[in-house]
Amino acid sequence: MPDIQKQEGQPGIAKAALFGLCPQCGAKTLFAGPARFSERCSSCGLDFSAFNVGDGPAALLTLVIGALIIIFALILDSVVRPPFWVHVVIWVPVTIAMTVYALRVSKAALLAAEHYNRAHEAGRDDVL
């Protein structure tokens, strides 16, 4: 396991993920859009594009959030029996908001974990 030394000013993974903080300096500069990373931190210059978060969180979150929304919609339908348009008005915005926020948190957590663990793609120098 890598020796992880948290330096002064660095937020923890959970704090960086929840608030979109730079994992190096703690400034709120991680995101340029709803779920899009900035190119680099405007405070300390950390290059966010060097980290490879990938699309794994998107696929997993879509499945999990979709299942939760269906369960809640079925419960609401069995208890109240609202018209279909009520379901659309409730569940479309809730699904979008949950997905965007969950993507922000999960992508930020992965980026912060990569930064703290100094993760990188394996190369010739990594062969024992």
* 14-51 pLDDT tens trace: 999 999 999 999 999 899 988 889 999 999 999 988 88
The yes-or-no verdict on residue 56 having pLDDT over 90 is no
More confident residue, 54 or 17: 17
The pLDDT of residue 77 is 96
Q: Which two tokens stand for residue 25?
A: 């300096």
pLDDT > 70 fraction of the chain, expressed in percent and rounded: 86
Per-residue pLDDT reduced to its tens digit, 88-98: 999 999 999 99
The b-or-e profile of 58-72 (16+ CB within 10 A means b, else e) is beebeeebeeebeee
Q: Which two tokens stand for residue 33?
A: 């859009």
Nearest-angstrom CA–CA distance, 118 and 42: 21
Confirm if 54 and 37 have CB atoms less than 8 A apart: no
The pLDDT of residue 3 is 42
Q: Which two tokens stand for residue 37?
A: 């990373």
More confident residue, 50 or 2: 50
pLDDT bucket at 106, cuts 50 / 70 / 90: very high
Q: What is the pTM of this model?
A: 0.78
